[in-house]
Chain A
Amino acid sequence: MVEGVKAWICGTFLLLAGLVQPVLGATPGLDRAGFAVSLCGDGVAQTRALDALIRSSGEEAVDDLAAAGILLRGLLERRLVCLGDTAVLLDKVGASAGREVGIGAVRSTEGGRSPVLGLRQRALTETALGIATLVAGETVELRSKGLAAVERRMAGVPDAVLLRAQINESDAGLKAAIGVAAQGAALSSPDPMRRLAAIRAVADAPSGAAVSRLSALRSDPAYGADPAFRAALDAGIARVERAVWIGNGLALLYNGLSFASILFMAAAGLAIIFGLMGVINLAQGEFIMVGAYAAYGVQDTFRRFAPGLLDLYLLAAIPVAFLAAALVGILIEALILRHLYRRPLMSLLATWAVSLFLINLVRVVFGSQNLQFAMPSYVSGGVPLYADFIVTWNRLFAIAFATATLALTLLILKRTPLGLDIRAVTQNRDMAACLGIRTRRVDRLAFGFGSGLAGLAGVALCPIYSVNPGMGATFIVDSFMVVVLGGVGTVVGTLVAALGIGGANVLIEPFYGAVAAKVIVLAGIILFLQRRPEGLFAVRRRR
């Protein structure tokens, strides 16, 4: 952010300067023929011309630099031939004729000679050529090569060149690389004031790379010799490290939040179904899979019939996935679970059989490889927010999606007749039946609703996780833990438990590893159940 603003300010400044200069007539422009002739001269003349070009390269016009670049490449490749007071550039080494520099007339090379470069002059030529390519190169690839050449001889390059190249650069990756190079140049500059300023500048844009860049300066001789430098560097490193630490912490929290969102969506349906019917639905993971595959189907349809709208498929998939999973759920309830309400452990085995069936059905129909999703623009990439913390759109999508689902679920449970029925049956099935609620119908609708929520989870996770027939197994154990911890039949409990378990998993992982995170979370849940066997938020009810 800060860097961007600065670049903008500098750019504006340069732009103004550029507007003012022609009026003042301060920049004479490059005398191409004269430059070529100087290159034909002796070492002193060459050095003077090259030095002048490099020094003024920050302000030189782009086409002048391009022309100089062509000359310099010719010089290095021995295609530049000197004929008395003019120079001729050949197309090919050893050709008999070439074009005269500055005029363009074809001239024979007879009697001419190629200038010889000394070591120092060769280095200067390469620097100048690098600068010219960096600023005036036509493709990103060429400019990257120029940057590489410039970086090799950073000491002789004026700051204005890098600043200018950075501002003019259109490719984001190369732009950032130029910025890094410029900072690097300033950090190792012989001018102590510039170095201090550069340290502050680097510290202003904290990142993991900035830490290593500044830490490398600790082995610089100035670190021991110059107390001001030492103090500035130490302060800079401390600042960057703190910022990076905070940034990483934010990134962790963010990942935890997105994981928790998926968990919540997977577990909310489970909790409602379990609370209402006492059925542990081992096929919930497969309903997630059904949702993800439905999203894939929607994408396929869009690709075939409306390729222009492909970016929208993820949004279109939301209702489709919900309905697909809900239908499968209702079908399973009507065919199988309806008969097993008095036998919860048997219904558990039945749902396991259903999950086995669904996994293998999908495996046979679609194959067991990961599905390839085209990522719409709104779920790819992200915004760097602070230090190394990047808000990635795909995770933000999952979080927003889960929030919307939470709101929808609460709305349905608290504000609709169906929700009222579900709550009544959850609290006291017999009494609700006596009051005329058709409990079986409520069961079926609630099962469909819970399955549909899992289908939504499938849509939310397909930009983040891989989608294959076995994907449900990844979430099922964690989402059961969420239900157990949160207490059955409570959406708020599910939310809190999902945040807790998702957060704990993600927070422990970097320190002790993913497996240890699972072990610790499981042990924590078992210990917690010692205190509250009913979970965090138990619904009072009679069974």
Chain B
Amino acid sequence: MSGAMETSSMAAPRRLVPDLGGDPLLAAVIGLVLTGALALVLLQPAPYLVNMVGQLAAFAILAVSLDLVWGYLGILSLGHGLFFAIGGYVCAMHLLSHAYAVTGVAPDLMQFMGWKSLPLYWFGLASAPYALVVALVLSAAIAFVFGYASFRSRVNGVYFSIISQALVYVAMLLMFRNDTGLGGNNGMTGFPLLFGHPIGAPGMVTGLAVATLLALALVLAGARALVVGRIGRSMLACRDDEARLRTLGYSTTRLKLGIWCLSATIAALAGILYVPQVGIINPRVLSPDLSIEIAVWVAIGGMGRLGGAVIGAVAVNALKFWLSAAMPEAWPFILSGLVLVVVLGLPNGLLDLATLRPKPTWLRRGGGLG
């Protein structure tokens, strides 16, 4: 079984601060993230760089959320973009209604839709805490309904993957419609204010990036605490042989459902942090390709390792930022080549290059997992 399990014995008391000693990679990643946050505050680099770091951190959170269900539970979701988008859309709604409440200038969206005032379902979103709760609860609720229906009837493996893909695809078609009332094709953009301050100010950009980095560190620490604990052991057991775990009397449905909803919530958090930094949200976030790309980040970084997900997300997206500007034609070829190399040659992703891990987990036992 996994190395993480062996280090924490059954009788170990639960600790508030997770033991990072068992995972030097994760400790290094968290350390790097915190150092980065500190460096952003102290060195004050160019705003575009700060902004990029912040976006990468948001993608890293998204990758961690997927790694939690894929790497540790064996559920490959090809629809995680849905939860990311829920966070993003609610955040955008908050930003627009907040600016409307403060400045009194009607957002473009209202003119575009021909509204005199914001519709009822926007009520209260001007308040940040309420919007946060709405985003997280909404995404958890949708995850619950979909997850309950799927896990209860034991839809798993690739079946689950393609149904979740259909889910995000349908959501994309839905949001492309103008009468959905969330900007349709154009999405929402032009956010002037955040917490009453101009969103483009250098201090605000740094603040957002640092907040995202801190959130990433927190998510990593929390996920670590989860996966080394009792629940984490059940997750690995469920990943490796669900039927046996069920036979032993565990409710795998409840376990999967809980982690699934948690993962969706984390993805929504990533979306919330992403939108103010990038300044736009539109239905392209919901394209099935983006959701598959999230899985690609995790696979490239190394699934089943929280640090690996972060490395994958950062490496692929940094490369994408650079290459899609430098040679946009070549980027898809490079990405597909990268995926094939990793999938064929490096079963644990880039981590195999550093041989941080001698033997892939999926080879240790029968290897039913992808």
Which of A70-78, A187-195, A476-484 is near enough to bind chain B?
A476-484
**Also in contact, A357 and B158, with CB within 8 A (given A343-B369, A518-B173):** no
- Distance of A473 Cα from B292 Cα, bound (Å): 13
**A-chain residues with CB within 8 Å of residue B167 when the two chains form the complex:** 522
Contact B177 A364 (CB under 8 A): no
- Distance of A137 Cα from B166 Cα, bound (Å): 60
The one of A339, A349, A513, A533 in contact with B299, judged by C-beta atoms closer than 8 angstroms, is A349
Main secondary structure of the interface of A (DSSP, over half): helix
Type the 1/0 row for A410-429, where 1 means its CB is closer than 8 Å to any CB of B: 00000000000000000000
> Given known contacts A343-B367, A519-B170, what 15 new A-B pairs fall within 8 Å (CB)?
A343-B347, A343-B370, A346-B347, A346-B370, A347-B370, A349-B339, A350-B343, A353-B296, A357-B337, A360-B332, A361-B333, A364-B329, A480-B165, A526-B149, A526-B163
**A-chain residues with CB within 8 Å of residue B159 when the two chains form the complex:** 484, 533
**A-chain residues with CB within 8 Å of residue B343 when the two chains form the complex:** 336, 340, 346-347, 349-350, 353
The one of B170, B336, B367 in contact with A357, judged by C-beta atoms closer than 8 angstroms, is B336
**What are 26 A-B interface contacts by the 8 Å CB criterion?**
A336-B344, A344-B370, A345-B370, A348-B158, A348-B370, A349-B339, A349-B343, A350-B339, A353-B335, A354-B336, A356-B332, A356-B336, A356-B339, A357-B337, A359-B332, A360-B336, A473-B288, A477-B169, A481-B166, A484-B162, A515-B173, A515-B177, A522-B170, A525-B163, A529-B149, A529-B155
Interface residues on chain B, size class: 35 or more
Type the 1/0 row for A294-334, where 1 means its CB is closer than 8 Å to any CB of B: 00000000000000000000000000000000000000000
**How many whole Å from B153's CB to the nearest CB in chain A?**
5
The one of A359, A361, A484, A518 in contact with B163, judged by C-beta atoms closer than 8 angstroms, is A484
Is the CB of B357 closer than 8 A to any CB of chain A? no
Is the CB of B76 closer than 8 A to any CB of chain A? yes
Contact B76 A345 (CB under 8 A): yes
Q: Which B residues from 323 to 350 make CB contacts under 8 A with A?
A: 329, 332-333, 335-337, 339-340, 343-344, 347
The one of B169, B177, B340, B362 in contact with A343, judged by C-beta atoms closer than 8 angstroms, is B362
**B-chain residues with CB within 8 Å of residue A533 when the two chains form the complex:** 153-155, 159
Is the CB of B150 closer than 8 A to any CB of chain A? yes
For residue A345, which residue of chain B has the nearest CB? B370
**A-chain residues with CB within 8 Å of residue B146 when the two chains form the complex:** 526
**B-chain residues with CB within 8 Å of residue A349 when the two chains form the complex:** 292, 295-296, 299, 339, 343
- Distance of A183 Cα from B329 Cα, bound (Å): 61
**How many whole Å from A534's CB to the nearest CB in chain B?**
9
**A-chain residues with CB within 8 Å of residue B359 when the two chains form the complex:** none
Contact B367 A477 (CB under 8 A): no
Is the CB of A278 closer than 8 A to any CB of chain B? yes
Residues of A within 8 A of B (CB): 274, 278, 280, 282, 336, 339-340, 342-350, 352-354, 356-357, 359-361, 364, 473, 477, 480-481, 483-484, 513-515, 518-519, 522, 525-527, 529-531, 533
**How many whole Å from A364's CB to the nearest CB in chain B?**
7
Contact A353 B340 (CB under 8 A): yes
Is the CB of B152 closer than 8 A to any CB of chain A? yes
**How many whole Å from B33's CB to the nearest CB in chain A?**
26
**Also in contact, A345 and B369, with CB within 8 A (given A526-B150, A530-B152):** yes
Q: Which B residues from 167 to 203 make CB contacts under 8 A with A?
A: 167, 169-170, 173-174, 176-177
Contact A344 B339 (CB under 8 A): no
- Distance of A522 Cα from B173 Cα, bound (Å): 12
- Distance of A336 Cα from B146 Cα, bound (Å): 33
Interface centre among B150, B158, B165, B296 (most CB of A within 10 A): B158
For residue A280, which residue of chain B has the nearest CB? B158
- Distance of A484 Cα from B365 Cα, bound (Å): 28
**B-chain residues with CB within 8 Å of residue A530 when the two chains form the complex:** 149, 152-153
Contact A336 B162 (CB under 8 A): no
The one of B150, B153, B158, B165 in contact with A345, judged by C-beta atoms closer than 8 angstroms, is B158
**A-chain residues with CB within 8 Å of residue B296 when the two chains form the complex:** 349, 352-353
**B-chain residues with CB within 8 Å of residue A483 when the two chains form the complex:** 162
Is the CB of B161 closer than 8 A to any CB of chain A? yes
- Distance of A533 Cα from B70 Cα, bound (Å): 21
**B-chain residues with CB within 8 Å of residue A282 when the two chains form the complex:** 292
Is the CB of B222 closer than 8 A to any CB of chain A? no
Contact A522 B166 (CB under 8 A): yes
**Also in contact, A280 and B162, with CB within 8 A (given A349-B339, A349-B343):** yes
Type the 1/0 row for B62-106, where 1 means its CB is closer than 8 Å to any CB of A: 000000001000001000000000000000000000000000000
